[in-house]
Structure 1
Amino acid sequence: MACLALFHLSACSRSDTPAEAVSESSTPPGPEAGNLAAEQATQEITAEFMRDIIVEISDDKYEGRGPGSRGDVAARKYLAEELEKLGLEPAAADGSWEQPFDLVGVTAEQPDEWVFSKGEDTLTLSQWDDFIVSSGVQAERAEVADAEIVFVGYAMQAPEYDWDDFKDHDLTGKMLLILNNDPDWDPDLFAGEKRLWYGRWDYKYQSAARQGAVGAIIIHTQPSAGYPFQVVQTSWTGEQFEL
C-alpha cells in the first residue's frame, strides 16, 4: 500500500496572533477567506523553502524513498509536518494527510542470455550489457518462448498524420521490434525533434498490446532516447510498481 499526501488551504497561518471571536450571527466565510489562506501559504512557499525540502528528502537517510519502504514512510511523515507548519490542513476523508491506495510490485526474472535464431543463424545477447527485461503483466508467471519477431517501425498509429505502421497486419502472438522515439528527421513531419506521445515507450508498449503482441523490444540508442543505456539498466531492474 502507498499513500498520496493530500492537503487543503485553511484560513489560518503560522502567526501566533489570536483570532477574533465570531458571533453566531456572523456571515460564514466566503471565497475571500480561502484566497487569504492561499496568499498566506504562498508567502511561506519560497524558492529557498522548496530547495530545503528537496535537499532534505534527497538525503541518504531516506534510502531512496522506494514505494512502501522505510525511507518512503519517513519522507511522507516529514512532508506532512512541513505542510502543517504552513498552516495547511489534511484533506483525506479520515482527516489524515494521506490517501491510501494499492500498488502491485512486479519483479521480472532476468535470463542470463537471450537467443534469437533464423534458420541456422543465431544471435545471443547478454543480460545487462545488451538487454533489460521487464514484465507488464500482473501475474505470478509470464513467459514468452519461440515467438516470431516482426519489425514494425515506430509502432505508431497516428491518423491525424496519415501514419500507420501496422497497416492491418495480424500481429497476434508476435514479438514486436520497435524503434525508439518518433520520426524526427523532418520538421514538417510530426513535431520535428520534439518528442510526441507516440515516441514514448509507454505508448509503444500499449500499442503493441492493442495489436495482440506477446511482447515488445524497443531499440535503445542514446540519440533517440536522450539518455544513455545506463538509465535503462538502473531504472528497469528490481521491483517495479504498478496500480
Structure 2
Amino acid sequence: MQLIDIGANLTHESFDRDRGAVLQRARAAGVGRQIVTGASLAHSEQALALALQYPGELFSTAGVHPHHASDYDEACDARLRTLCQHPAVVAAGECGLDYFRDFSPRADQQRAFERQLQLAVDVAKPVFLHQRDAHEDFMAVMAGFQSQLSRAVVHCFTGTRQELFDYLDQGWYIGITGWICDERRGQHLRELVCAIPAERLMVETDAPYLLPRTLKPMPKDRRNEPAFLPHIVQDIASARNENWEQTAAASTAATVAFFALPVV
C-alpha cells in the first residue's frame, strides 16, 4: 500500500543538504506521493518547482500561512492565482488563522485568509487550511465561503472535540499528523480520530516539524521526514482499532479523491 503525505514542507532549509535522499527514504518506506506545502509566496514557488522536478510523485499547494499574512498584497495575490492554475498545484493554501503566535496582526490574518478563500473559489481548487487558537473567527470567515468552496481540509488537526465536529459537520476533511504520537499533548486525538469518517481522514507528517515522539530510534537531528509517515499511520490505526492496511488504504483513497490525483 502506497501512502500519500498530504503535508510535507520539503522546501524547508533543513532539507537542502539531502532532499534527494529524503525522497528516496520515503519511497523505500512506502510513501509513494507527497503534497509539498506552500506556506509563503517564495515557498509556493519552490514547492511547484519541486513538483515539476518529480512529476507524478510530488504535487504542491500555493498559499500564504497566517504567520506571513502581513506580506499578502496585490502582487502576491496575482502570483498565487497564476501558480494555482498549474495542474501540479492541487490546492490553495496553506491559509487560515493562527492566534497562538500572532506573528501577523489578526486583522491582516483575516484579510489574507479571505483573499485566499476567494482565490480557491475562483480557480476551483480545494483549500488547505490552518487553524490554531482561532476557532471562532476561523469558522466565521469560512462561513462566508463554505457554499462556494469545492473541498476543504483542516491540516494538522490538534483541536478539541467541538472543533472536530464543527469541521465534520461542514463536510471538511481532516489531516492527522504525528501529534497523535505525543503522550503529553496528543492523547485526546486517540479518541477523536475514531470519529473521523474513513473517507475524510488523511495523513501527514508536516515534516520537518512534529517528529513522532514514539519513533524508535529517534533521528539524531530530530528532524521529521516523510519516511516516518507509516509510523504515524500505525498509531492512527491502533487508535481506530483498525489494521494498518485498512487505515492506509482509506487515507490514500480519501487523498486521491480530495486532491483529484491520478489513480495509480
TM-score by length of 2: 0.26
Structure (1 or 2) with the greater helix fraction:
2
